A and B are shown apart, each in its own frame.
Chain A
Amino acid sequence: MHSDDYLKDFCIENIMPKNNKVLIIACGALAREIISLIKLNNWQHISLTCLPANYHLYPEKITGAVEAAVLKYKSDYKSIFIAYADCGTGGLLESKCKELGVEMIKGPHCYSFFEGNDKFSNNSENEITAFYLTDFLVNQFEAFVWKPMGLDKHPELIEMYFGNYTKLIYQAQTNNSKLDKKAKEISNKMNLPLERRFTGYGDLEAALSIL
């Protein structure tokens, strides 16, 4: 298994045999979850390639990178599925997927589809002041949140970034005491009360199960 640190910056390609029928092009932040689902369900017809997870920080790069990957792989597979939600692309990814004739995960972002898009949408008005973390983000908090925001060097910016938040919701995809402990440390660091919410894989599993 590739480390989260590796997934942050690099693509993993064709970790399943290349002769499978469906290729998932995924955000690297979902790699562990998708690999777990493939193993759990013995989906031998699915292959996976990931784009760098740090596009999470630069959503403007996502649409172009997905398009390039689709064009690169489309002749090798029967179909391609995009394991991204809108992810801050402002509808551009959805339009591009339609143009390319590929399906993608429904929803605005992974916090929504992990929780279940309908449930997340219903709760959204009550939780607009919540900052969300997933297993990946708990594990990679320093690399994906703290350092890119400059908080390792300038903790005085905390109020500017998080001043309007009132709680931290850790959406746990797995039960892992190490991640729970780390989530608690993060909540102390951010000075926000922690709510742990087990989501499992939410709508991600349902979306992949019909491929």
Chain B
Amino acid sequence: MLDEQEIILADLSDEELTLQMHDDLYDGMKEEIAESVNILLNRGWMPYDVLTKALVEGMRIVGIDFRDGILFVPEVLLAANAMKGGMAILKPLLAETGAPRLGNMLIGTVKGDIHDIGKNLVTMMMEGAGFEVKDLGINNPVENYVQELEDGDYDILGMSALLTTTMPYMKVVIDTMIEKGMRDDYVVLVGGAPLNEEFGKAIGADAYCRDAAVAVETAKEFMARKHNQLST
């Protein structure tokens, strides 16, 4: 016998399904999210609309409740995991359908630090917001950042650290960029649990981002400023 609470996703209207996806993301229901993404695509939705209206909007709600202390890290990770399931379906389609790109970001956890939960969340949210993100992974010496910045076409550098002992390394990277005369070519965003606004300013970053949602908003603001400067 069917549970009377059970919802048949395919029977929902587009609007109902989108709202249901917000709930399913909130509850970390990966399989349901993947199913709903496929339903919307089969109904003729553009991949970019599925991404922004269903997944990104759902994660925005998760982000707000995390910021307000209603959700905690485990719930955010489950939501992220569910979004990842949807993104896996959408990513190749987004490239094919020419979804708008806001900018390119290079991101990595600094040398001596293997923590990547926050960085991975930022990566996913930035991709969801329309940024192309190259993830350098964990434990990156300054050479990795500099080499990749020189080789690629990036607008933003993101650095992450979870440890008090490793966060000063961000300054090593920024100072090296200054020495090489490349600092002003990039927006540098930093984040991680022990960081704060003061630290971000002290090391010469453009902004400290408290969480993934703030990182996305900050990156968007900087890109908008850049475009405004170019158009004047």
Cβ–Cβ contact A157 & B78, under 8 A: yes
Q: Are A160 and B77 in contact (CB under 8 A)?
A: yes
Chain A, interface SS category: loop
A150–B75 CB distance below 8 A: yes
User: Does A165 touch B at the CB level, under 8 Å?
Assistant: yes
Question: Which one of A108, A149, A151, A156 contacts B164 once the chains associate, using CB atoms below 8 Å?
Answer: A108
CA distance A124 to B167 in the complex (A): 14
Q: How many residues of B contact A (CB 8 A)?
A: 26
Chain A binder among B112-120, B123-131, B150-158: B112-120
- CA of A78 to CA of B77 in the docked complex: distance in angstroms? 47
Contacts of A91 in B (CB 8 A): 164, 199
Q: Is the CB of B194 within 8 A of A160?
A: no
Q: Which residues of B contact A151 (CB under 8 A)?
A: 74
Whether A154 lies near B165 (C-beta < 8 A) is no
Q: Show the binding face of B for A, using Cβ within 8 Å.
A: 28, 72-75, 77-78, 81, 112-117, 120, 138-139, 163-165, 167, 193-196, 199
Known contacts A129-B114, A150-B74, A150-B75; 11 additional CB pairs below 8 A are A128-B112, A128-B113, A148-B72, A149-B73, A150-B73, A154-B28, A154-B74, A157-B78, A160-B117, A160-B120, A165-B114
Task: List 29 contacting pairs A-B, 8 Å CB cutoff, sorted by A.
Answer: A59-B194, A86-B164, A86-B194, A88-B164, A89-B164, A89-B194, A90-B164, A90-B199, A91-B199, A108-B163, A108-B164, A108-B165, A109-B164, A128-B112, A128-B139, A148-B74, A149-B74, A150-B78, A153-B74, A154-B28, A156-B81, A157-B77, A157-B81, A160-B117, A161-B117, A164-B115, A164-B116, A164-B138, A165-B114
